[in-house]
Amino acid sequence: METIDTIRINFEEGQLFILNICLAFLMFGVALDIKISDFTAIFKRPKAPIIGLISQLILLPILTIGLIYLLQPPPSLALGMILISVCPGGNVSNFAVHLAGANAALSVMLTSIVTLSAIFVTPLYFGFWTNFIPGTEQFNSIIEVSPAKMMNTILTLVFLPLIIGMFLNHRYPSVTKRIEKPVRLLSILVFLCFVVFAIAGNYDNIVQYVHLVFFLVLIHNTLAFTMGYWFARLNRLPVYDAQAISIETGIQNSGLGLILIFNFFDGIGGMAMIAAWWGIWHLLSGFALATYWSKKRKNDLKTDIS
Q: Between these two residues, 88 and 3, which has the higher pLDDT value?
A: 88
Supply the pLDDT for residue 66: 96
22-43 burial, b at 16+ Cβ within 10 Å, e below that, comes to: bbbbbbbbbbbbbbeebeebbe
% residues pLDDT > 90 (the chain): 25
Nearest to 244, CA basis, from 102, 51, 54: 102
Supply the pLDDT for residue 231: 97
pLDDT, tens digit, 9 for 90 and up, residues 37-53:
666 666 677 899 999 99
Amino acid at 46: P
Average confidence (pLDDT) over 168-193: 77
What is the rounded distance in angstroms from the CA atom of residue 221 to the CA atom of residue 191?
19
pLDDT, tens digit, 9 for 90 and up, residues 15-24:
666 767 776 7
% residues pLDDT > 70 (the chain): 76
What are the residue boundaries of the structural domains of the chain, listed by start?
Answer: 13-298
93, 111 contact by CB (below 8 A): yes
Please identify, in words, the CATH class of the domain defined by 13-298: mainly alpha
Supply the pLDDT for residue 1: 37
| Cβ-based neighbours of 185, under 8 Å, separated by 6 or more | none
pLDDT, tens digit, 9 for 90 and up, residues 257-293:
877 887 777 767 788 888 878 877 888 898 899 999 9
pTM: 0.81
pLDDT, tens digit, 9 for 90 and up, residues 113-140:
888 888 888 888 888 898 888 876 666 5
